[in-house]
Amino acid sequence: MTNHNTSPYSHLLLLAAVLALVSVASAFGPTSRLDLQKIMREERNYMQKKVIDISHKYVPDLPAYDSKTGLGNFIKLKTSIKLGDLYNFSVFKLTTHSGTHVDAPGHFNETLFELGYDVVSLHLQTLNGPVLVVDTPRNKNITAEVMRSLNIPRGVKRVLFRTSNTDRRLMYKKEFDSSYSAFTSDGAEYLAQNTDIKLVGVDYLSVAISPKDELLKVHQHLLNSKDIIPVEGLNLDDAVPGVYTIHCLPLRLVHGDGSPTSHSLPDLAWILQLLKSMRVRESVLAARIGTKYVAEIRIFGNTADQSFGSFIIFLAISVANYLWEKTVLHMC
Ligand SMILES: *[C@@H]1O[C@H](CO)[C@@H](O)[C@H](O)[C@H]1NC(C)=O
Ligand SMILES: *[C@@H]1O[C@H](CO)[C@@H](O)[C@H](O)[C@H]1NC(C)=O
Ligand SMILES: *[C@@H]1O[C@H](CO)[C@@H](O)[C@H](O)[C@H]1NC(C)=O
């Protein structure tokens, strides 16, 4: 139900105020010419791709956790037109944590599992909505120190972390590689205690680094909260840092501790259109420059730039969250 007591203009006024702030702030964004050229190039790609599929294709060579042989032949024809049947009809067999997938709270916790915290219990509101894609420092795992340096503002509910796994194309290597980058236990603890992030996306098969004690602790920090959802094995090849909306739809597997998912990342076409029509395209660029600061903090090496970037992200995400909640969710 919409609220008829508020003036129809009050939302627009608030939005205009926020946008004005964004454009003022963007005017102060310090960026070198080279960076700007690079960002403009990425921006062009970003504008051209309206929707990006960020799930991996299920192929026999897709890596599987702790396996040398990948998924293998997971799909078989049961009836075949060529052999005279009326139709082709296949059966597939996959683990619940194959390829791009989500974890349920009960994955590492027997009590939660028995209480019914399976994949069906996951909130669609968390799985869908505005999302921030950030690049992490390539020479580190996602530790508390890295989380602090990323400076992701409060109010950001969904973040996809693009790490060296994407550069190393680990999801295209059949044999499992335990040297992947992911969260350390202190990084996960930091996320759970000091941010509003509820959807945590990573670009290899686990949200946690591989040593067993760390694997357990990271999952406990995230999953025991019952409202944080790790999304693992994402394909972030074409997802340059920026603000998008994510659509993430797990299968409704009752008692499932995880589920393969299909994901798409529409860029914020509607918000971009709106910003463009209000002649504040520069501010969207600045928001993405903002995330660039997050990623390339070593180049800029200036904490002032970092908090500027963080401020811009905060504004962009606030606008996105606001519009999402006031428009899309109200139509459902
Ligand atoms: C049906 O299965 C055969 C293999 O028996 C395959 O070659 C063919 O491409 C399939 N057709 C369709 C429409 O999927
Ligand atoms: C992340 O941790 C793993 C251990 O699980 C290690 O092999 C890898 O080198 C670390 N990555 C980075 C970038 O430090
Ligand atoms: C399982 O989750 C519950 C609820 O969050 C928590 O109280 C309990 O300590 C967890 N158990 C383990 C072994 O992590």
pLDDT digits (tens, 9 = 90+) for 166-198: 999 999 999 999 999 999 999 999 999 999 999
Q: What residues contact residue 9 under an 8 Å CB cut-off, 6+ apart?
A: none
Helix, strand and coil in the chain, % to nearest 5 = 45, 15, 40
Q: How remote is the CA of residue 84 from the centroid of ligand 1, in Å?
A: 11
The bound ligand whose nearest atom lies closest to the alpha carbon of 217 is 3
Is 112 close to ligand 3, i.e. is its CB under 6 Å away? yes
pLDDT for 329: 61
Q: How remote is the CA of residue 103 from the centroid of ligand 3, in Å?
A: 16
Is 168 close to ligand 2, i.e. is its CB under 6 Å away? no
**Cβ pair 245, 219 in contact under 8 A:** no
pLDDT for 178: 98
pLDDT digits (tens, 9 = 90+) for 78-103: 999 999 999 999 999 999 999 999 99
Q: Kindly state the helix (H) or strand (E) to which residue 131 belongs, with its residue range.
A: strand 128-135
Q: How remote is the CA of residue 82 from the centroid of ligand 1, in Å?
A: 7
pLDDT for 50: 62
**Cβ pair 121, 257 in contact under 8 A:** no
Is 75 close to ligand 1, i.e. is its CB under 6 Å away? no
Residue of 311, 63, 76, 85 whose CA lies nearest to 206: 63
pLDDT digits (tens, 9 = 90+) for 307-320: 555 666 666 677 77
Is 140 close to ligand 2, i.e. is its CB under 6 Å away? yes
What is the DSSP secondary-structure string of 107-130?
Answer: GS-HHHHHTT-SGGGS-HHHHEEE
The bound ligand whose nearest atom lies closest to the alpha carbon of 136 is 2
pLDDT for 297: 24
Is 76 close to ligand 1, i.e. is its CB under 6 Å away? no
pLDDT for 264: 76
Measured CA to CA in angstroms, residue 133 lies from 123, 127, 159, 230 at distances of 20, 15, 6, 14
The residue whose CA is least distant from atom 9 of ligand 2 is 179
Is 109 close to ligand 3, i.e. is its CB under 6 Å away? yes
The residue whose CA is least distant from atom 9 of ligand 3 is 224
Count Cβ atoms below 10 Å from residue 224 Cβ, excluding itself: 15
Domains of the chain, by residue range, sit at: 52-267, 276-331
pLDDT for 171: 98
What's the CA gap between 62 and 97, in Å, rounded?
12
Is 80 close to ligand 1, i.e. is its CB under 6 Å away? yes
Structure tokens at 134: 């950030």
Is 88 close to ligand 1, i.e. is its CB under 6 Å away? yes
The residue whose CA is least distant from atom 12 of ligand 3 is 109
pLDDT for 275: 44
Using 50 as the pLDDT threshold, list the residues of the chain that sit under it.
1-10, 12-13, 16-17, 19-31, 269-305, 332
pLDDT for 83: 94
CA pseudo-torsion sign 53, 58, 59, 62: positive
Fold of 52-267: Glucose Oxidase; domain 1 (3.50.30)
Q: What is the DSSP letter of 326?
A: I
